[in-house]
Amino acid sequence: MMRAFFRVAWQVMRKDMTVEIRSREILLTTLLFAVSVVLIFSFALVREGRAPDDVAAGILWVAISFSGTLAMGRTFERERYNDTLRALILAPADRPAIYVGKLLGLLLLMLLVEIVLVPMVGLLFAAPIFAYPGMLLMLLVSGTLGFAAVGTLFAAMLVRVRSRDTLLPVLLYPITVPVMIGGVRGTAALFQAVPDEPMARFWIGLLLFWDAIFVTLALWTFEPVMTE
């Protein structure tokens, strides 16, 4: 039972990755968008050639969430194109397994974007990204997971809605506020002049707790919201 669940999730993720590796469309567009967001923020915040302290974490997470929204919209647009989401739902597999597969695909994509994004922010805003690499990684993974868990569910349920492109961020951002606060505060604790390790560890714990709740809730909700 459990093996079948993960086999389906794995296959769905692998399929998404195969498509993405061939076109690289989502990765490249999302990445460029994330970079543009960082650029725009630098215009807003940099004064006399220097950015104020403490903004790097905020800019990083805003770029992650904006570009993540773009990526989730596109992954489900692909499933809509030949109505393949219907085919996935029609398969006798556990429906939550399909959710997990889509979530893992999205998570991987967002983490790939972050691999470029984080060093860039570190470079442009003089953030010490290598001071606590393990903790920074944990913050990025747990924060991105919480954001993607809600995003995947919402994007999936908005597939049939005409104004999905505008509704997705409108629904998603209020719900993911706690994840954003956790990500930004935790990262800021690591980036500040005197890093506050216990604070970062505290936020990682909180983020993991929220991830667990968001993922559980999404697994419950996916099946009922996907039947018309």
Partner 1 sequence: MQYLSVVDVARHFGRRKALSQISFSCAAGEMIGLLGPNGAGKSTLLNILATLIAPSKGEVKYGDQGANDGADVRAQIGMLGHDLFLYPELTARENLEFFAHLYGVTDVHSTATRALHTAGLVDRGDDFVAGFSRGMRQRVALERALLHEPKLILLDEPFTGLDQTSTAALVGRLRERQRAGCLIVLATHDLDVADGVLSRAIYLKDGRMVGSDTGSSNLADRYRRAMDRGPRNADSALWGGE
Partner 2 sequence: MQKLTTPFIVLSAGMLLVAPWIINAAPYESTMGLVQKVFYFHFPVAILFLVSAIICGVNSARVLFWKNERADGWAVAAAELGFVLGALTLVTGPLWARKAWGVWWVWDARLTMSLVLFLTFAAYMLLRRYGGPGSDRLGAGMALFGMVNVPFIYVSVNVWRTLHPMTSVVPTLPTDMGIPLWFCFAAFTMLFVALLNLRATLEHQRTRLEALYLAQDEA
- Both structure tokens of 12: 């769905």
Task: Give the interface with partner 2 as residue ranges (CB under 8 A).
Answer: 150, 153-154, 157-158, 160-163, 167, 170-171, 173-175, 177-178, 181-182, 185, 202, 206, 210, 213-214, 217, 220-221, 224-225, 227-228
Number of H helices, E strands in the chain: 9, 0
Q: What is the dihedral of CA 180, 10, 159, 59, to 10 degrees?
A: 20
Give the dihedral of Cα atoms 192, 142, 205, 207; nearest 10 deg. 90
Q: How far is the CB of 222 from partner 2 (least distance, A)?
A: 9
Question: What contacts 82, CB < 8 A, 6 or more positions away?
Answer: none
168 with 77: CB under 8 angstroms?
no
Q: Which is nearer to partner 2, 131 or 170 (CB)?
A: 170
Q: Which does 162 bind (CB under 5 to 8 A by kind): partner 1, partner 2, none?
A: partner 2
**CB of residue 214 vs partner 1: minimum separation in angstroms?**
24
Find which of partner 2, partner 1, none residue 158 binds, CB within 5 to 8 Å per kind: partner 2
Beta bridge partners of 47: 50
Torsion, Cα 67 78 1 10, to 10 degrees, reads: -60
7 binds, among partner 1, partner 2, none (CB under 5 to 8 A by kind): partner 1
- What is the binding site for partner 1 (CB under 8 A)? 4, 7-8, 11-12, 15, 18-19, 22-23, 78, 81-84, 86-94, 227-228
224 binds, among partner 1, partner 2, none (CB under 5 to 8 A by kind): partner 2
Q: Which does 177 bind (CB under 5 to 8 A by kind): partner 2, partner 1, none?
A: partner 2
Sign of dihedral through CA atoms 130, 133, 135, 138? positive
Of 125 and 210, nearer to partner 2 (C-beta) is: 210
Nearer to partner 1, 50 or 160 (CB): 160
